[in-house]
């Protein structure tokens, strides 16, 4: 029986209960942010083994990098030339079926024939559908256990792989091109599933783009930049722009979009947990369409942190301008932090709010 006493996250507990690891194994840990699971895996394979962790979040990877004998990769998805062949892959099922399929396909590519994929996750993020996708790809993926509305399954890598027909129409592990037409001109955009509103310009971002309030020569920070269209628009308006995001797919695409739109001289893209990468810098304007979901739950904690951190990196009379769903009480946090807030624009669903540092 595996020692799983220290594992409190259900998906981690399930993976450790069923995964068969041996000394010397090459193991890939996909989309698990649990350092305890990473430590357990490293202990199972020993000093002769090799453990590499992948995640969408730069912040999560920093935590995992502190685990002894665990390497991290910022590639998000494993690549056969760099990370294969692997003996075992452990996948903590992410929210979003296209992202999950990207993990499944790239995991299958790097596994040796006969290697094992163990996957676990919550029913609420679509674990049942993803396990069915694993069965389609690998031939079968029997469920081995359950815990607190989570399930775990295993699949064995066959000798030959065939990409399911409906997966090939949207290769979610590869960058994809989009063109977005705007009054200020068209944008050529590289984007990927796993980035917020990756396949269309969402209504909130469009409203903020209509009311950027950017002046030429200003220093602008785009927080949670996604594929970067807000920062690109600020750069087109003549600002010096830093775009930041914790999502490594977003960072990759935003950098490509800065180059594709000829804004390399004005725009810089950094991986950052909110303002952590720019704490020593100061800005005239901060722009953001902050997220309000944590996995499947509504949460305003990220936006609250953004408002509080923004105060510290704005110059005097610097502005924080965000767009948010009309029902979210961000104006309260902005008033508490800055002492002021105003509605710049609104429609039936969204508001653009601005606070000025005194």
Contact 111, 79 (CB under 8 A): no
Q: Which two tokens stand for residue 181?
A: 């037409």
Confidence of residue 3 (pLDDT cuts 50, 70, 90): low
Is 68:41 a contact under the CB 8 Å cutoff?
no
Direct distance between the N- and C-terminal alpha carbons of the chain, in angstroms, rounded to an integer? 61
Q: Which pLDDT score is estimated for 20?
A: 97
Task: Report whether 135 contacts 128 (CB < 8 A).
Answer: no
Q: Count the Cβ atoms, other than its own, within 10 Å of residue 136.
A: 16
d(CA 244, CA 281): 13
> CB atoms < 10 A from the CB of 10, how many?
18
Report the length, in residues, of the chain.
358
Could you give the CA distance from residue 12 to residue 54 in angstroms, rounded to a whole number?
15
Strand residues in 84-202 grouped as ranges (E): 86-92, 111-122, 143-147, 150-156, 176-182, 185-191
**Dihedrals phi, psi of 60, to nearest 5 degrees:** -60, -45
SS3 198: coil
Average pLDDT over residues 313-333: 96
Q: Cα separations (Å) of 162 from 42, 105, 106? A: 31, 10, 12
What mean pLDDT comes out for the span 253-258? 98
- C-alpha to C-alpha distance for 205 and 190, rounded to whole angstroms: 17
At residue 6, the pLDDT reads 61
Element (H, E) at 179: strand 176-182
Q: pLDDT confidence of 190, banded at 50, 70, 90?
A: very high
- Tokens standing for residue 85: 């062949």
The answer, yes or no, to whether residue 1 has pLDDT greater than 50, is no
pLDDT at 299: 55
Element (H, E) at 111: strand 111-122
Which residues have CB under 8 Å from 264's CB, separation 6+?
258
Q: Given the DSSP bridges, would you call strands 50-54 and 26-30 parallel, antiparallel or unpaired?
A: parallel
**Helix residue ranges, H only, 153-211:** 165-168, 203-210
Q: What is the average per-residue pLDDT within 333-346? A: 97
CA atoms of 195 and 242, how far apart (whole Å): 18
CB 161 within 8 Å of CB 137: yes
Q: How much of the chain, in percent, has pLDDT values that exceed 70?
A: 96
* pLDDT at residue number 295: 46
- Domains observed in the chain: 10-168 (3.40.50.150), 176-356 (3.40.50.150)
Cis amide bond preceding 26, omega within 30: no
pTM above 0.85, yes or no: yes
| CB of 353 closer than 8 Å to CB of 324 | yes
pLDDT tens figures, 211-233: 999 999 999 999 999 999 999 99
pLDDT band with cut points at 50, 70 and 90 for residue 201:
very high
For residue 207, the tally of other CB atoms under 10 A from its CB is 19
Mean pLDDT is lowest, of 116-130, 144-158, 160-174, 241-255, for 160-174
- Going by C-alpha positions, the residue among 304, 314, 313 that lies closest to residue 336 is 304
Mean pLDDT in residue range 151-166: 95
- Residue 297 pLDDT grade (very low, low, confident, very high; cuts 50, 70, 90): very low
Residue 8's pLDDT is 84
> Tokens in use for 187?
């944008």
User: How does pLDDT run across 94-129, given as a tens digit for each residue?
Assistant: 999 999 999 999 999 999 999 999 999 999 999 999
Of the pLDDT bands very low, low, confident and very high (cuts 50, 70, 90), residue 300 is: confident
What pLDDT is stored for residue 301 in this prediction?
A: 86
**Greatest alpha-carbon span in the chain:** 65
Using DSSP, state whether 146 is helix, strand or coil: strand
Average pLDDT, the chain: 94
Residues 325 and 349: beta-carbon distance below 8 Å: yes
What is d(CA 270, CA 272) in angstroms, rounded to the nearest whole number? 6
């Amino acid at each position: 029986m595996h020692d799983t006493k220290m594992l409190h996250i259900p998906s981690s507990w399930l993976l450790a209960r069923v995964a068969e690891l041996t000394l010397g194994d090459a193991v890939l840990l996909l989309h698990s942010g649990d350092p305890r699971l990473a430590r357990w895996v490293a202990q199972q394979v020993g000093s002769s083994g090799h453990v590499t962790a992948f995640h969408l979040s730069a912040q999560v990877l920093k935590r995992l990098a502190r685990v002894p004998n665990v390497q991290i990769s910022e590639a998000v998805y494993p690549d056969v030339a760099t990370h294969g062949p692997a003996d075992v892959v452990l996948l903590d099922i992410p929210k979003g079926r296209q992202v999950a399929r990207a993990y499944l396909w790239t995991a299958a590519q790097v596994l040796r024939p006969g290697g094992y994929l163990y996957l676990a996750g919550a029913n609420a993020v679509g674990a049942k559908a993803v396990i069915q996708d694993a069965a389609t790809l690998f031939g079968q993926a029997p469920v081995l256990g359950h815990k607190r509305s989570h399930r775990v399954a295993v699949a064995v890598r066959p000798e030959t792989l065939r990409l399911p027909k409906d997966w090939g129409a949207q290769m979610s592990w590869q960058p994809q091109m989009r063109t977005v037409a705007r009054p200020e001109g068209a944008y050529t955009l590289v984007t990927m599933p796993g980035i917020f509103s990756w396949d269309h310009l969402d209504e909130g971002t469009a409203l903020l783009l209509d009311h950027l309030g950017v002046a030429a020569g200003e220093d602008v920070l785009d927080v949670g930049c996604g594929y970067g269209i807000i920062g690109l628009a600020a750069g087109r308006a003549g600002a010096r722009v830093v775009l930041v995001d914790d999502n490594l797919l977003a960072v990759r695409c935003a950098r490509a979009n800065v180059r594709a739109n000829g804004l390399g001289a004005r725009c810089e893209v950094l991986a950052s947990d909110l303002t952590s990468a720019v704490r020593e810098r100061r800005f005239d304007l901060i722009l953001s369409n902050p997220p309000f979901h944590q996995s499947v739950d509504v949460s305003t904690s990220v936006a609250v942190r953004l408002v509080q951190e923004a105060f510290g990196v704005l110059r005097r009379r610097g502005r924080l301008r965000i767009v948010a769903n009309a029902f979210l009480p961000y104006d309260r946090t902005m008033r508490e932090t800055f002492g002021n807030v105003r509605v710049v624009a609104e429609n039936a669903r969204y508001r653009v709010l601005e606070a000025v540092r005194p």
